[in-house]
Amino acid sequence: MGFRHEVDQAGIFLRLIDLPDAIVMEIITVVMGETLASGSAAVAAAGTQIGVDMADWWQADTAFFELIRDKEVLSRIVADVAGETVAAANAGEKTKTLKRIVRDHLDGADGRAKVERWVPRWLGFPASAYTARGGVGTVAAHAKVEAARTPEPDPDADQEPFAQAA
């Protein structure tokens, strides 16, 4: 397997060399995208750096609403989509009602103002959460990116120049 694998790689490389740079860049973009793990720090860094707007690529669907079971998060999503007043007025409602309010706003149905291009906070670049509980992978990934951006403190920064020479 090792030898054949190397021959395959060499063949791919030789074919890429013959292609125009613009085509190679398109191929590299797809390959990189396919190798990045969704929700990883690498995706968080790339998405933030290039300014990805997830509203261009995602919209809430039935599966999204079926997967949300956390009432606190859902209440915050209602506030995000319908406003704080609507969220406060419906704070005691069941999740089914809250989901319907969000869906109606996203669709512009049942007399609700249509909300365009909404994505949940955890899908944004940079990602954020609706609660302070933690446990949101994309938020944790963004924190790793920010930690990587922050330079480590220089241990010698507090020493006076030539202090060691004395």
- What ranges do the domains of the chain cover? 1-35, 40-148
pLDDT (tens, 9 = 90+) of the chain, 166 residues, equals 566 777 788 898 899 999 999 999 999 888 887 887 888 999 999 999 999 999 999 999 999 999 999 999 999 999 999 999 999 999 999 999 999 999 999 999 999 999 999 999 999 999 999 999 989 999 999 999 999 987 777 777 666 666 566 5
Residues whose CB falls within 8 Å of the CB of residue 41, separated by 6 or more in sequence, listed in order: 141, 142, 144, 145, 148
**pLDDT attached to residue 39:** 87
Residues whose CB falls within 8 Å of the CB of residue 14, separated by 6 or more in sequence, listed in order: none
Name which of 73, 50, 60, 63 is nearest 117 in CA terms. Answer: 60
**Global pTM value:** 0.71
